[in-house]
Amino acid sequence: MNHRRCHLLIIALCLIASAAMAQLNLPTTTRNGQQYYYYKVKSKETLYGISHKLHISQEEIVKYNPASASGLKDKQLLFFPVADFNKSTAVADRHVTAVVPEVAEFTHTVEPGETLFGISRTYGMSVDEIIEQNPELKSNSLKSGMSLHLSKSRQDTIFVTIQPGNTLFSTAKRYNTTVEQIMSENPGITPSNFKAGEVIRIAPNSAIPVEKEEIVTKYYPYEVKKGDTYAIIAENNGISISELKEANPNVDKLKKGETIYIRRQQTEAVLVSPFVNADRSQMKIKEIYQSVHMSKQDNTINVALLLPFMLNADNPTKQARLFTEFYKGFLLAVNDLRNRTSKQINIFAYDTENSLSAISKLLEMDSKKQMDMIFAPDNSEQISLIAAFGKENNVNIINTFSTKNEEYIDNSRIFHLNAPNTYMNIKVIDWIKSQFEGYDIVFLNNSENESKEIVAQIKQCLQSSHRIHDYGYATSLNSDELSETLKEGGKYLFIPNSGSKNDLLRIAPALASIKENRTDIELSLFGYPEWSTYLNLCESNLKKIDTYFYSRFFINENDYDTKQLRNNFSRWYGEDMIYAAPQFGMLGYDTGFFFLKAYIDENPSFSDSRFTGIQTDFRLERISNWSGMVNKAVYIVHLSSIDGISRILR
């Protein structure tokens, strides 16, 4: 931490500490039988200066010293009744603005799959700012588990790293907000994970004062007349002599023309902190959490599908027909769930015509604000428009189709169902590292094709734990030439640099031949999601080789549920699903079943968001406590001559 950061942090801590104890940091005296704090005014001091020095408001100074309203004099004594002051402190004081440093400091721990760009988006900073604040990044790449020390100028919200011993209640009070507000701003915070090291987003001074009836003290001026005594003034104003003297501790003798003050107590409605008289320590965090994330109580589940069905087109494209198939699969899920709930499931499907203006008009309809969730199309600009609507109106937005849209980074209402490449790749690489320990990694490079992005990442991550080799070939892979490079007793994992169909057809026969003839070595092949569409061309060879590839989705055609869904689809609609990857009918069924069941089970916060589908699994996580939900489920598909085809969930 640099000196400037330390200095700012020390100032902030000092201010907080001073605010908590300044009222007790004054000498006391006893006058007319009552104990007072007192302060001697110095030359040229003002109410403003003294209020900041004592950390009490100007109004409180005048309240107990009414004469100060007309000006201060050198060596004037200001008095504050100890009893009143301590009572105020014990009740958690009035609605006081939290002391928040102008520059907030926090620590981010890098999670697997995170990138500098993603982290910069999460905190609203630039990549250059992050590198400047963490100079070690100039010479070292970002790594999982690394701690980034960040600072950001205070805006509407700040980022706070939870410290050991912090609780939701203490944090809310420190920043003059509420537990409910923190949980609403950070849906990733649950009753079980408010723990040290977590970073949360807070809107300081967002606690709304509550109105409360209190007995308040008012001071009314009275000009002493000739012949007045304490007894006469007290009797005329219905108070005791001692009360009159207590209200004027700085008056020794009454003098004609002098102003003294009559103290009266009366009941008034005042604004106080929401923590006043609230026994928050006895409230259960779980109850507050449930109240914040409570679903509506009208016994309905409302779902809107805003998709480009292109119904007005004479010849809808295959993509438009796929969206229609998604809707059909969704309806099959609705049908299978109807008998499991008494809730009414309402499905509203709208043709967006692939038009931003059409979506804008649809979102202007009041009925859209009553939706529990809206399924968005695959266009990034359209997703962003719908995402903004969801954030403003507390409607969950499901991004089922787009991989690259990043609205999920700072919008807690977004559900991003296709695992982003960065998170998928790191899971795949970790699996390779553990599954093929002790293997040589051989990259098969066809110069005609550009290498996939993950190839460089695999090399970088495995170079310290595995032996890495590059083997180039031109048109087709020659099994004899490649076999000569393989040592007896060796273990080899082959990874092509491209996932193209042509490359797979070039290498599969050669590796199958080596596998058959070289019983002295262990050999496997690892590939890419595209391969799921080529299996019918070379499935026999891939099984013989012992092949793996990764994918966001995969269908086991021999599975009973797969066969049942295909039969139901054909029976309902009189046609088979369109050949595509993924199959949109199954995608509609899996997503519909998962999200509808969450609402049926009254789990709208998706706190336990694990689901095994026919084609797609869901493992939803937040990348920060205020981000949207991201599906990080990835399949490793295995083709083996012994076990056939199976999928492994990562």
- Report pTM: 0.76
Nearest CA to 37 out of 2, 66, 78 is that of 78
**Of 125, 127, 111, nearest in space to 423 by CA:** 111
Contacts of 322 (CB under 8 A, 6+ apart): 578, 580, 584
Nearest to 81 by CA among 120, 111, 37, 116: 37
Residue range(s) occupied by CATH 3.40.50.2300 in the chain: 300-419+569-631, 422-551
Q: Is the Cα dihedral 509, 512, 517, 520 positive or negative?
A: positive
For residue range 576-594, what is the model confidence (pLDDT) as tens digits? Answer: 999 999 999 999 999 999 9
How many other C-beta atoms are found inside a 10 Å radius of the C-beta of residue 535? 18
Position 649 scores a pLDDT of: 86
- Residue 269's contacts (CB-CB under 8 Å, 6 or more residues apart) are 211, 212, 213
Centroid of chain to Cα 265: 49
List the structure tokens of 207. Answer: 């606690």
Closest Cα partner for 187 from 610, 631, 623? 623
Q: Which amino acid, one-letter code, is at 613?
A: G
Averaged over 133-140, what is the pLDDT?
Answer: 87
What pLDDT was estimated at residue 295?
63
Lookup: tokens for 576: 């088979």
pLDDT band at 245 (very low <50, low <70, confident <90, very high): confident
Q: What is the mean pLDDT of the chain?
A: 86
Q: What is the mean pLDDT of residues 417-427?
A: 92
Q: How confident is the model at residue 90, as a pLDDT?
A: 43
CATH of region 210-272: 3.10.350.10
Residues of the chain with CATH 3.10.350.10: 210-272
Give the DSSP H or E segment for 470. strand 467-473
Strands 610-612 and 617-622: antiparallel
User: Domain 300-419+569-631: which topology?
Assistant: Rossmann fold (3.40.50)
Whether domain 422-551 has CATH 3.30.9.10: the reply is no
pLDDT digits (tens, 9 = 90+) for 495-529: 999 999 999 999 999 999 999 999 999 999 999 99
Residues 615 and 587 sit within 8 Å (Cβ to Cβ): yes
| Rounded Cα–Cα distance for residues 616 and 387 (Å) | 23
Is residue 11 pLDDT above 50, yes or no? no
What percent of the chain clears pLDDT 90, i.e. is strictly above it? 52
> Is residue 103's pLDDT more than 80?
yes
pLDDT at 23 over 70: no
DSSP β-ladder status, 396-399 and 414-416: parallel
Cβ-based neighbour number of residue 180 at 10 Å: 16
For residue 161, give the H/E element and its range.
strand 158-161
Q: What is the pLDDT of residue 79?
A: 87
pLDDT of the residue at 540: 95
pLDDT value for 522 = 95
Between 133-147, 170-184, 277-291, the lowest mean confidence (pLDDT) is in 277-291
What confidence score (pLDDT) does residue 210 get? 66
Locate 263 and state its tokens: 């103290």
- Distance between CA atoms of 65 and 261, rounded to whole angstroms? 9
pLDDT of residue 272: 60
pLDDT band of 87, cuts 50, 70, 90: low
Q: What is the pLDDT of residue 571?
A: 97
> Tens digit of pLDDT for each residue in 255-264?
998 888 888 8
